[in-house]
Amino acid sequence: MVGPKTDGETGATVSPSPPGRLARRIGWATLALAVGAGAALALGFLWFAERLPANEVKVVDRADGIVVLTGGASRITDAIELLAAQRGRRLLISGANPATNRAEILRLNPEFEREVRCCIDFDRSLNTLGNAIETRRWAQAQGFRSLIVVTSSYHMPRAMAEIAHQLPGVALVAFPVVTDKLKAEPWWSSGATTRLLLSEYFKYLFAQIRMRVHPAVG
């Protein structure tokens, strides 16, 4: 029969550590970290959602150029209206699909024929990072030092972060386009809207992490 262990030099009894104590400590620490991370993500999402504009802003200042990130039907019209109001000298429609061309925009917006024919450029980028890279190339080619950025309100934080990362020396003015649904009801009252904002929040977080890991403009 094996008795209690004793110290070889003093002969004092040495009590063994309770089985599993270390494992329990690790488990509690892991749980605490998980709860803390979850709480931080939840609070961050609430901050993200609550700071989204509920109404469109009125742009009174002029910029060198205007860039609209496609994805909503009203965004392009709003951007052309800004161009017609001489809030910028040229407009870049970024992320345009092949069907979005000068002829199609003229068909939908015949009252802006002069602006569409003279002062609109296109790129075919596929995502927000691509939008930002193409915006940098366009702004640098035009020599622009200030831009009005047009996109949906929920997409604006990520779009502004990506473009600012690509053009750190250029002044950016946000023109958020607010959907009718967000105007009519709070985001938490709709499961679809909540899921949309959650998706955009995590994309925003990922973009912020990526920009810190790869800070160089590329």
Element holding 113 (H helix, E strand): helix 113-119
What's the total number of domains in the chain?
A: 2
Contacts of 13 (CB under 8 A, 6+ apart): 4, 5, 6, 7
Label residue 9 by pLDDT band (50, 70, 90).
low
Q: What is the pLDDT of residues 68-111, one digit of tens each?
A: 998 765 889 999 999 999 999 999 999 988 888 899 989 988 99
- Mean pLDDT of the chain, nearest integer: 83
> Looking at the structure, do residues 27 and 133 belong to the same domain, yes or no?
no
Q: Would 2 be classed as within a structural domain? A: no
Find the CATH number of the domain harbouring 146: 3.40.50.620
Residues 90 and 35 in one domain: no
Q: Is there a single domain that holds both residue 23 and residue 83?
A: no
Q: Is residue 56 part of a domain?
A: no
Q: Which tokens belong to 124?
A: 């075919």
What integer pLDDT is reported at residue 59 of this predicted model? 76
Give, to the nearest 10 degrees, the angle between helix 156-166 and helix 128-142.
Answer: 50
Could you give the CA distance from residue 139 to residue 151 in angstroms, rounded to a whole number?
A: 17
- Residue in this structure with the two tokens 């993500």, named with its chain if needed: 41
* Residue 9 covered by a domain: no
Query: Has residue 149 been placed in a domain?
Result: yes
25-72 confidence digits (pLDDT tens): 777 667 667 777 677 777 777 877 777 877 777 777 899 999 999 876
CB atoms within 10 A of CB 85: 12
Predicted confidence band at 157 (pLDDT cuts at 50, 70, 90)?
Answer: very high
> Residue 192 belongs to what domain range?
65-178+185-213
Whether residue 207 sits in one domain with residue 121: yes
